[in-house]
Amino acid sequence: MDRRRFCEVAGSGAAGAVVLPVVEGGRDPGTQERPTYTYSVEIVEGPEGGCGWGHKPGDTFEYPAQKGAICHWLMDSMNGFMRVLEYGGHLPWMYRGTPYEKVVDPDGVTTEFVRCPDPTSGLVAKITRTRVG
């Protein structure tokens, strides 16, 4: 529904109720279903004894099931990356020729790397998105 039609319906004296069109299956037929993915987060760099939160290289977490176990600062840094991945995208930089070179396969596995904002931790996390089905 366009804005003009929305305002006409909303201001039609229907006690402020807005009636939106009913679509089959409760979903706009012009939209596509988003693919389903699983996500994991692996700490790939950081102090051997762990950072202040205790994360160390080799730690892995399933997202979102274990996101409460991930440091709030690292989780905040990953938030934008996760939103992009959840909608099927990836960030444009590829890090070619570095240890952080990414894998980008919309029909399979895609990776992103994100650094903890604590400059003393040296923590780098690898986010892996795997398409299901």
In this predicted model, what pLDDT tens digit does every residue of 67-117 receive, in sequence order?
A: 999 999 999 999 999 999 999 999 999 999 999 999 999 889 999 999 999
How far apart CA 104 and CA 24 sit, in angstroms, is 34
More confident position, 15 or 62: 62
29 pLDDT band, cuts 50/70/90, is low
How far apart CA 85 and CA 100 sit, in angstroms, is 17
SS3 at position 37 = strand
Q: Is the pLDDT of residue 31 over 70?
A: no
| pTM > 0.85: yes or no | no
**pLDDT score, position 24:** 46
| Range name among 15-19, 22-26, 96-100, 103-107 with the lowest pLDDT average | 15-19
Q: Is the pLDDT of residue 12 over 80?
A: no
SS3 at position 128 = strand
Taking alpha carbons only, the member of 46, 67, 41, 68 closest to residue 57 is: 46
Angstrom CA distances, 52 to 30, 36, 41, 79, stand at 48, 34, 18, 20
Token pair 């903890």: residue: 116
